[in-house]
Amino acid sequence: MGTITDAHAAETQLARLLDEVEAGGEVVITRGGRAVAKLVRAEDPAPAEEEPRPKRKLGLLAGRFPPGLIEEQVKWDKHTDPEWQRMIRIMEGEEEDGPAGSA
């Protein structure tokens, strides 16, 4: 049949009892001389089927930016922006870093 143990012993020896169950045995736990629980090896659950991801909602950020902000960024061209060109000249050592317009 397997091992029969009282509740107190089951608490203190749970790791050993789980090893026994894992090896295929059964453990009956009693309280006051009456069987109240049975430990048996669990069946390996079938692998859960992966649920499909919910479809993404387009336009989640719609209306969260000031009007014209995106268009303004698209029109900006770093190759023709004078401040950008000045930063490049400073990084390449062609211009000293100082207030704009003092070069």
Residue-averaged pLDDT of the chain:
81
Name the residue range of residue 16's domain: 3-39
The pLDDT of residue 101 is above 60:
no
In a domain, 20, yes or no: yes
The more confidently predicted of residues 87 and 63 is: 87
In a domain, 21, yes or no: yes
- CA–chain centroid gap for 48, Å, is 19
In a domain, 56, yes or no: no
Q: Mean pLDDT over residues 25-42, rounded?
A: 91
| DSSP assigned state of 81 | -
In a domain, 51, yes or no: no
In a domain, 53, yes or no: no
Question: Can you give the CATH number for the domain in which 14 is found?
Answer: 3.40.1620.10
CA dist 91 → 16, 86, 94 (Å): 69, 9, 8
Phi, psi angle pair for 68, to nearest 5°: 90, -10
In a domain, 50, yes or no: no
